[in-house]
Homo-oligomer: A and B are copies of this chain.
Amino acid sequence: MQFTAQQIGALLKGSIEGDESAAVDRLSKIEEAEAGSLSFLANPKYEQYLYTTNASIVIVNNDQQLAEPVKATLIRVENAYTAMSVLLEIYNQIKLNKTGIEQPSFIHPSAQIGENVYIGAFAYIGPNVKIGNNSKIYPNSWIADNVSIGNDVTLFSSVKVYFECQIGNNVIIHSGAIIGSDGFGFAPTEDGSYKKISQIGNVVIEDNVEIGSNTTIDRATMGSTIIRKGVKLDNLIQIAHNVEIGENTVIAAQAGISGSTKIGENVVIGGQAGVVGHIHIPNRTQLQAQTGLSRTIKEEGQKWAGSPAATYQVHMRSVVALLRLPELEKKVAELERLIKELNKGE
């Protein structure tokens, strides 16, 4: 798709300097742009590129001064960064605006499918599944029996949703994420083997959640594993059975939350952090990357780090002291020597 400076200017309510018919068909960084590219300049550090860029159109702030002549058509707006964000969103909406049902796909006759949906080839929609309006189920996904999915949901290719799980509105789940596999529950027996504990709960994902690629969220043993509104989960995260994650909590890649732990709202958990089971993390807690948290935190809004975790200050004090430790050992040896001498001296 091609767009002209005139069209983009009208969309952004910007003013145009240069050729109104300049046309673009892609978005690029200003320093890498080729002819046919739309770029933007928001950070003054990059101003130099404005005079050398091959971009056909550049969006700039209204107050952008020009130190040299510019080859590209400029579109001046109140805030170039915000304007660009709006454009990116529109661009993505157009690009990802698939609808219709591709063949072959498998849709059980008892499934209820909303309007304006996309169901990709080789997607599997099981018995009694409900899918809302404007939702997109990409190829090779598996939506098992009795699952309900809201409106404006996107499940990219090969998302797997086990039986009875519930997904709200405006949810995005990336490829390979697994929702509702069995919790890891086994009872030891006398002969040293383990007996599986049936996992008959489900997973509930509320509105506006985004879940990254190959992340796994296990169903509850009984009841629900719950991901509250606005939670953002990165790739390759493990959420165990009966966990509850509070609103607007953000978790980075490869972190793991063990069974039955409850996490508050607006918590931020760094990459590769691990949280033990059956504990509570209060609102606005922050866990640094690779933290290993093994007990309930009581005070809200604190920053934690290390494994086993301590508050950030305590952790950093230990880290620094640890680096000085070989020196401390030498110093103690020297004191020992001095005291021996003093003792001799007496």
Contact = CB atoms under 8 A, between A and B. Distances in A.
Interface of A: 27-29, 32, 85, 88-89, 91-92, 95, 102, 104, 106, 120-122, 124, 138-140, 142, 144-145, 156-158, 160, 162-163, 172, 174-176, 178, 181-182, 184, 186, 192-194, 196-200, 208, 210, 212-214, 216, 218, 222-223, 229-230, 232, 234-236, 238, 240, 247-248, 250, 252-254, 256, 258, 265-266, 271-272, 274, 276, 289-290, 292, 294, 307-308, 310, 314, 317-319, 321-326, 328-329, 331-332, 335-336, 338-339, 342-343, 345-346
A142 B124 contact: no
Given A28-B222, A138-B142, 8 more contacts: A142-B175, A175-B181, A214-B214, A234-B238, A256-B272, A274-B289, A332-B332, A339-B342
Contact of A194 (B28, B250, B310): B250
A89 B258 CA distance: 23
17 contacts: A32-B223, A88-B200, A156-B162, A174-B178, A178-B214, A184-B234, A193-B229, A193-B230, A194-B248, A254-B274, A272-B292, A290-B292, A314-B323, A317-B326, A322-B322, A328-B329, A331-B336
A186 to B, nearest CB: 6
A38 to B, nearest CB: 11
Contact of A232 (B184, B254, B307): B184
A184 B235 contact: yes
